[in-house]
Amino acid sequence: MPEPLRISASDGYALGANIFGPESTGPIVVVNGATGVKQRYYARFALWLAERNCTVITYDYRGIGESRPHHLRGFTGSLRDWGQLDFEGVLRFASTLAPSRPVAVIGHSVGGQLLGFAPSNTQLGRAVTVGSQSGSWRHWPGARKLMMWAVWNGLMPAFTHLFGYLPGKLGTGEDLPKNVALEWARWGRHREFFKDDGISTEGFSRLTLPIESFSFTDDSYAPSSAVDWLHGLFSNARVQRHHLAPADLEAKAIGHFGAFNTRFNDTLWPRLAVALGA
């Protein structure tokens, strides 16, 4: 069973977290979740890794789940904070657990984007991304492109300003803090995503570790070109791309959120584990 704990982000903000397999001797694995997804979504995968001698840390970004304040209106947490402060704090914590053990990260969707945000990311030995991509609407094909344009340019900013945060019932999973939603929409409007919003790519290019990227042909949130764009930023890393169809994993569907379902514990999960050094 996981042990709950609080981990300090690099600015001192208290993050709700869980640690699986604290007495294990294998790699320490940090799970960076997707936008609007609570850490408990990854618990079964984390437990599966812990049973294979990994120590696994899951956590909620500020404003989400166990890291949510009493009121989201007026809360100032942003996507930049998730990477530069929250992931950074968890990475520092993981690196001090057992300095002789390697630290790896698996990032789902935005969790893979945040790899390049943390100042201490060179402490990582390996990284895996799942459905991590640019959110620029230009990467989507056909009618989906128009829909993404409308979300970033109209729907998301309008509802966020109306409520003071973005309600999860509108399709984002959990409620999102105002600055997270507005920043996400702003990035999505840009051709170069967060690059055009003043985010430096130095944190991406300084990584020289192996990165394995997994994406799926039926993932409407992460078209292949959007995934390729993001991983092109890791210019000095050893990136290996895997673009899989459901049939490759003996499944009918995977989508954006299926990869961490237990039905893949005999097909996809072992591949993720090997990529993490487990």
Question: Which residues are within 8 A (CB) of 139 and not within 5 positions of it... i.e. 6 or more apart?
Answer: 133, 223, 225, 226, 229
* Gap between the Cα atoms of 218 and 215, Å rounded: 9
pTM of the model: 0.96
* Domain residue limits, the chain: 3-136+199-275
CATH code: domain 3-136+199-275 is: 3.40.50.1820
227-259: per-residue pLDDT in tens? 999 999 999 999 999 999 999 999 999 999 999
Unique residue bearing structure tokens 């492109």: 145
* Gap between the Cα atoms of 92 and 198, Å rounded: 25
Q: List, edge to edge, every strand of the sheet that includes 126-130.
A: 3-8, 14-20, 55-59, 28-32, 103-108, 126-130, 210-216, 238-244
pLDDT band at 51 (very low <50, low <70, confident <90, very high): very high
Residue with more model confidence, 195 or 1 = 195
139-177: per-residue pLDDT in tens? 999 999 999 999 999 999 999 999 999 999 988 889 999
Closest C-alpha to 82, from 34, 123, 153? 34
10-37: per-residue pLDDT in tens? 999 999 999 999 999 999 999 999 999 9
